[in-house]
Chains A and B, each alone.
Chain A
Amino acid sequence: MHFGPHLLLAALEGLVTSAVLALTALGLSLVFGVMRVVNVAHGEFFMLGAVLAWAISTAISGHPALGFLAALVLAPLIVGAIALVAERLVLRRLNYNPEATIVATIGMLYIIQQLALTFYGPEARPVEPPFSYRILLPWFGYSGYKLSIIAASALLLVATWLVLTHTKIGLVMRATQYDSETAQAFGIPVDRVYAGVFALGAMLAAVAAVLIVPISQAHYLMGQDPLLLSFIVVIIGGLGSLRGTLVAAVLIGLSDGIISVFFSPTLAKIIATLLVAMVLVFRPQGLFGTASR
């Protein structure tokens, strides 16, 4: 294939990766930014979203779009509820101590993974896309559904941004993030904000997973890569910066896609990872972060 179309394809692929990554990372960023909790189980919430999407879409017969839409609504709600329970039962009792929460979320990771293995099984299972339209470009075919993921993710990101910047809930969350003690003093129920943020973070991961599962598939070990990538995106973008998270997700998704045009695949991964690490070495506060307080 010629260079131009090849690059176009790589860029499209990179954008799809970015779109899903942005949503997942945003969830992690909220939890990280507001609660200062390193949620190692974040990838497992992502996995749960995908597994539930499979369960819901196979339970509903008829046109695949019906099952998919049901999954898009129900799976995040269920995952959010699970996260809420975990937050109340465990994280709150640990007073959000950073080190203790790492161990606790590793514990959650094991529990969720094992439950998925026991009840869902070790196989990879596909979910039918709501529609399967193949866009025919002069040089290659491309999945219409993949493009719709980019759109859906953009919509959700805009919605989250609006909530954070234009609603009282958002204000409360930002106040808690900025200084939880002062927020408490001003009568903000920090405790409940934390619970809500943890659930919301998990729900964002679950939505991202429901979107990706028709082109990927549900598997009980699928949570690890999104977790690692999300961490990278959150830190590169700068803690607590929505804009930074988005830019970093696009940067990482695109660089991953485009560098693969020029190098053999594993070498491309090495170079992409090294480049991103170097960005962080020379700009430790991230692209859009302010210097740490």
Chain B
Amino acid sequence: MADKNGFFDLSKTNLTRRTALKGLAAGAGLAVAPGFVRYSQAQSSAPIKIGFQSHRTGIGAAYGRWYEKTTAAAIKAINDAGGINGRPVEVIIEDDGTDPGRGAEVVGKFATQHKTDIVFGTLFSHVVIGSAPAAGEAKMPYFVVSEGHHVASTKLNRYVFQPGITDVKSQIQSMAPWIAANAGKKVTQIFPDFAFGYDHRDYLPPALKAQGAEVIAQIAIPPTESSFTKYFPQIPAETEVIYHVMVGPAVLTFVKELGEFYGSNRPQLFGFIDSLEATDINSPGLEFLDGSHFWEGSPRYAQPDDSAAQKAYRAAVGIDDNGAAVGDPKDVSTAAHMFGCWETLYVVKKAMEDAGYKGPEDRAKLVEATEALTEFAEGPEHPQGPKTFNGKIHQCFGIQNISKVEGGRLNVVHKTKIEDGLYEPEGDYTTQPL
């Protein structure tokens, strides 16, 4: 990203400073003893620094790359329009290795070394949960684009927000009416035996029940599994819909093996696109998905009724009508999630402007200003659609897309309403001390 040189210099200065300090400690007999080194506050014209915790390596790397691209595009758009409070915005990227331990270290690094104003970032739930304590302790606002239910569960802390993407619980709940009405009443769920899967395991059955449909079997696949055929016999014969949310690199195997198992005589399929993010829907073996349906946060393929804002967003990020990188049709984006980076950064901008944010001493004000937000109108800042925001649970709510695979592309066939995804808040962050 554009700030690479800045970062470069920063680490260099820190290195020399550290060396100097070590020399001091050894030589001058700790003359500087209890003096924690403090630095002067950023000048008003100095850039606002956003620490971006990115999955550059590890299992989340495909997401990380596109999160970075989207973030770069949003920052460019914000800076071109005058920045935040008249100050330019600078992004500093650190790799979390898609690992919760490293994630927490990275948050610490942003807070104490880079001295960023906020931390922004990541997708994988375990990294968010692992990093949340570090953010809370450093009193560092931490804006995530994870879609996990962890933020809204109010089990994290007052400094963690998810204002740019809906959470899984809300997504599942808004899918249920459509599934029951259009796909079938007897549903078998196949999901990975870890947290992302558990959200589906726990929230789908009650949501379907409310619609007069039922989950007749739940098959949890261990995360270390790389082949799936041996689990398919557990799918009851009367199944009308297979609801699948496999994630990770093995998903192609999963689909292919499902195809070999069933042939043309298959139940309806409904899946979450998470499985196939950054994967070409026309990959060999995926023919079996033709005619099946997917949840999408934001549509991968350009739709006939796309708004001007959606078109502008796609152009800014650099994805073509098929949701692949402009100029490289094989480089498929994570379109269904990465819009959340764009929208979150605009929420940050809005909240910082509302709070009259000047520097790290205003972080508490920023938290309160974010909690005070209630609505985001559809437009260039929120191209995916309108959203509401619940400041008590730090979570936004929005519309969802259901798309059908036909003719080698995903066509949106249904858009849910915001109300479909609302649920009773499970707690209230605003009662926690700042």
Contacts and interface: CB of A to CB of B under 8 A. Distances in A.
A/B touching: CB–CB < 8 A: yes
Nearest to B65: A122
Contacts of A257: 230
B295 to A, nearest CB: 20
27 contacts: A6-B233, A9-B232, A9-B233, A12-B229, A13-B227, A13-B229, A117-B61, A121-B62, A122-B62, A122-B65, A123-B278, A124-B249, A124-B279, A125-B283, A126-B256, A126-B283, A128-B284, A215-B227, A215-B253, A215-B257, A216-B226, A216-B253, A217-B249, A221-B59, A222-B249, A264-B220, A269-B224
B59 A225 contact: no
A134 interface: yes
- Of B227, B263, B278, the most chain A CB neighbours within 10 A belong to B227
A222 to B, nearest CB: 7
Interface residues of A, number: 44
Contact of A217 (B61, B221, B253, B263): B253
A141 B229 CA distance: 10
Nearest to B58: A221
Contacts of B261: 140-142
B253 to A, nearest CB: 5
B372 interface: no
A58 B65 CA distance: 23
Interface string B221-239: 1101111011111000100
A5 interface: yes
Interface in B243-264: 249-253, 256-257, 260-263
Contact of A143 (B231, B251, B260): B260
Interface of B: 57-59, 61-62, 64-65, 193, 219-222, 224-227, 229-233, 237, 249-253, 256-257, 260-263, 278-279, 283-285, 332
Contacts of B251: 124
B227 A17 contact: yes
Contacts of B233: 1, 5-6, 9-10, 140, 261
B192 to A, nearest CB: 10
Given A260-B231, A264-B220, A265-B231, A126 B263 contact: no
B221 A265 contact: yes
5 cross-chain pairs, A with B, having the tightest CB-CB distances, nearest first: A122-B61, A124-B249, A219-B249, A1-B233, A122-B62
Contacts of A6: 233
A141 B263 contact: yes
Interface string A234-274: 00000000000000000000000100110011101100000
Contact of A215 (B61, B256, B279, B332): B256
A225 B224 contact: yes
Contact of B225 (A124, A128, A265): A265
A16 interface: yes
Interface in A164-223: 215-217, 219-222
A136 interface: yes
Contacts of B278: 122-123
B237 to A, nearest CB: 7
A110 to B, nearest CB: 10
Contacts of A140: 232-233, 261
Given A16-B227, A140-B261, A265-B220, A216 B232 contact: no
A222 B225 CA distance: 11
Given A124-B252, A266-B193, A261 B283 contact: no
Contacts of B230: 9-10, 13-14, 257, 260-261
Contacts of B279: 123-124
Interface in A26-73: 64
Interface in A86-110: none
Nearest to A12: B229
Given A219-B249, A265-B222, A269-B224, A117 B193 contact: no
A56 to B, nearest CB: 15
Interface string A70-87: 000000000000000000
B220 A266 contact: yes
Nearest to B278: A123
Contacts of A265: 193, 219-222, 225, 231
A270 to B, nearest CB: 9
Interface in A113-132: 114, 117, 121-129
A114 B230 CA distance: 33
A122 B67 CA distance: 13
A8 B169 CA distance: 38
- Of B58, B233, B263, the most chain A CB neighbours within 10 A belong to B233
Given A10-B233, A142-B229, A269-B222, 16 more contacts: A9-B233, A13-B229, A14-B230, A117-B57, A117-B61, A121-B65, A122-B65, A123-B279, A128-B285, A136-B263, A140-B233, A140-B261, A225-B226, A261-B233, A265-B193, A266-B222
Contacts of B193: 265-266
A142 B258 CA distance: 10
Contact of A122 (B64, B224, B237, B263): B64
Contact of B263 (A17, A129, A134, A266): A134
A126 B229 contact: no
Given A141-B263, A143-B260, A265-B219, A1 B249 contact: no
Nearest to B248: A124
A126 B227 contact: no
B314 to A, nearest CB: 20
Contacts of A220: 61
A284 to B, nearest CB: 25
B253 A9 contact: no
